Amino acid sequence: MKILDRKIALAMLFALIAPILAACAAPAQAPVRETVVVTAPPVTVVVTAVPEAAPTPTGAFRTPHPILSDVRVRQAIAYCTNRLELIQSVYSFLTPEQQQQLLMDTFLPKTHWAVATEADGIVTYPFDPEKGKALLEEAGWKLAEGQRVRTKDGVPLALEFTTTNAQFRITWATVLEKQLLDNCGIQIIRKHAPASWWFGGASGLRRRDFELGAFAWVGEADPGGRSLYACDQIPLPDNNWEGQNYMGWCNETASRAIVAANNTLNREERIKHYKAFQVEFTKDMVSLPLFQRLEAYAWNKALTGLKPDPTEYITANAHEWGRTDNGDTIILGFTQEPASMFSLVESAAVQVQAAQLVFGVLSTQYSYDFQPVLQDGLSTIESGKAKNEVVEVKEGDKVWNTEGAAVELKPGVEIVNSDGETIKYESGTVKMKQLTVTYDLIKGIKWSDGEPLKKADLELAVKINCDRESGATSFTFCESHDNLNGVTFNSDTSYTIKFLPGVQWPTYFLAPYGGYPSHRTISDGRKLADVPAKEWSTLPEIAELPMGYGPYILKEWKKKEFMRFEANPNFVLGAPKVKNVVIQFFADTNAAVAALLTGEVDILEKATLGAGPEVETVIKAAQEGKINVKTDASPTWEHMDFNLFVR
């Protein structure tokens, strides 16, 4: 995500959880039809890559799946899956304790603030094949003497299992196939498809073209979840395949709970609703959490002050980094280069980290929670910096509807009223909640040239970010406060946003905007404040060497080689301990790891190391005392969905 837009995206629930394709999906490629024979005792499975173009289903997915619609079968599959063995197949180099930490019971990691436990009533599924077999027997699936696959009325208990053709998933899916057959007589027929088809806009998951489907969700500090699990988020031909509830699961109790959890600003209320949801989620077993992915950080033993964390970038506290060997430079190794330093148009992980060096961070999200940094305290209702009033709206007023869009209120528009009820407006007046939030930045912020942050800089940030010619990829947040019309600039470090009635961003307390240096003179003599938004993405002063108020100044960018940063003496939190930071670009992770082990590079962060064999390499090096390594259970988690309906 982006440095300014990142906080905006955190406020937008539907942007918090999305399919992850990069780390273990196959590279984007032209669709091909090919057949690969994968031999995994005791059966041979033909794995066929499916073409990109898939016919649009004509059915409405109203027919219950003949096998998976029975909750006992779904629960049996969960009990018959040895998830620790799956983890061992891809992370054999971890200790048993580390492997155990990757297990999940619900859609949230065990360390998340909203996670539910058995004490809250959730159902857990430890590896227990005897319990799984008993459930299958109860459901009528019998294992005849001398047979390996259960049957019912002459029909074998066989299910198609679809996922990507990445080696990572082929490895653990091969183990899963053998487990289910050996433990409980369940046969799965693996189909490893190209990621371009599985995650395509008109195929695979989006068209619910699977029985068992495995992929990963990536989550952040806010759990979101409505688009994944609410009853009105089931993709169907009737609704043009909108929504991400690919299971077709509609549990009214769970749906009401997940909607309510995303429509209140009170964290205790949210926790209550999330726990109620997780009880239903685990009881119905419509999606089996398999394991969290592993992520790792590796660094030179001479470095101090690093805070590797699963939900925050390593550069978030760069001003606190130090060295014990009197060195004046820290080198980060990356395998990807930013396309631009303009955060509105570029959001790769490497760009975010480079931008954190230049602009600092308004707030952080360590350990699945939020902490203010350049923002002067979180703007919560409890702090007095925000209020959530009940207002009356009438036909013609601009409001926020249940689809997350700014619309004029008229008959038929669906909204959430002040009591939290979803209604269709008919006539007259109706009461809705309206958020008004004041965001304060800390005093004393200066640009790297020594010029103080001014009100004009804040105004310019909102103006450019909300200008449709800026090149930004989303304007949803701007529309939620009616663009510039909803923002009042109080001082050089403070602004107030009056959101449209109906807007209830759960992360409303995070400052969404910083500033742009309105005083800066660009190469043609104009002030930055006078440059139209449509030109910003091509300005060298924005896209290549932007001015910021973070801990470092980007002094040189030699494309395809390195980016060189120098300490900002005007950084409001104090000059950084280390004089220089360099981002060095490498062709691949192997080259970056080799450079770390020879001392040419000081830090490799999680996006660079990925989830491949290089992680094992750095762990072994750490065990030999050569470097420091920290592994974390990633917010990204593998899971298997059950499609409850057939075409």
Say yes or no: 392 and 475 in one domain: yes
Please list, in sequence order, all residues whose beta carbon lies within 8 angstroms of the beta carbon of residue 421, skipping any fewer than 6 positions away.
none
Per-residue tokens: 166: 């990445």
Say yes or no: 63 and 203 in one domain: yes
Say yes or no: 477 and 397 in one domain: yes
Residue 464's domain spans which residues? 375-539
CB atoms within 10 A of CB 312: 20
- At residue 351, φ and ψ (nearest 5 deg) are -70, -40
Say yes or no: 493 and 358 in one domain: no
Least confident of 125-129, 147-151, 257-261, 440-444: 257-261
Say yes or no: 353 and 394 in one domain: no
Task: List, in sequence order, every residue forming a beta bridge with 158; answer none if it has no partner.
Answer: 187
Say yes or no: 416 and 555 in one domain: no
For residue 36, tell me if it sits in a domain: no
Least confident of 10-19, 339-348, 413-422: 10-19
Say yes or no: 358 and 500 in one domain: no
Q: Are 488 and 439 in contact (CB under 8 A)?
A: no
State mean pLDDT over 606-610. Answer: 83
Looking up residue 145, the CATH number of its domain turns out to be: 3.10.105.10
Interatomic CA distance for residues 616 and 298, integer angstroms: 11
Q: Are 454 and 399 in contact (CB under 8 A)?
A: no
Interatomic CA distance for residues 220 and 106, integer angstroms: 15
For residue 631, tell me if it sits in a domain: no
Q: Using the 8-state DSSP alphabet, how is residue 7 labeled?
A: H
Number of domains the chain contains: 3
Residues in the chain: 647
Interaxial angle between packed helices 83-90 and 167-184, expressed in degrees from 0 to 180 and rounded to the nearest 10: 150
State mean pLDDT over 342-359. Answer: 88
Residue where a domain stops, chosen among 515, 539, 563: 539
Prediction pTM value: 0.72
Say yes or no: 593 and 528 in one domain: no
Interatomic CA distance for residues 443 and 616, integer angstroms: 45
Asked if the model's pLDDT at residue 6 lies above 70, the reply is no
Share of the chain above pLDDT 90, in %: 68
Q: Are 141 and 157 in contact (CB under 8 A)?
A: yes
Interatomic CA distance for residues 558 and 106, integer angstroms: 46
Give the three-class secondary structure for 169.
helix
Helix residue ranges, H only, 360-393 = none
**HEC-encoded secondary structure of 199-254:** CCCCCHHHHCCCCEEEEEEECCCCCCCHHHHCHHHCCCHHHCCCCCCCCCCCCHHH
Say yes or no: 104 and 187 in one domain: yes
Looking up residue 579, the CATH number of its domain turns out to be: 3.40.190.10
Amino acid at 559: K
Burial 105-122 (b: 16+ CB within 10 A, else e): bbbbbeebebbbeeeeeb
Say yes or no: 352 and 390 in one domain: no
Residue where a domain stops, chosen among 509, 539, 569: 539
Check residue 49 and give its pLDDT.
35
> 569-602, pLDDT tens digit by residue?
999 999 999 999 999 999 888 999 999 999 999 9
List the one residue out of 423, 419, 429 whose CA is nearest residue 401: 423
State mean pLDDT over 157-167. Answer: 93
Least confident of 305-309, 398-402, 427-431, 496-500: 398-402
Q: Are 225 and 219 in contact (CB under 8 A)?
A: no
Amino acid at 137: E
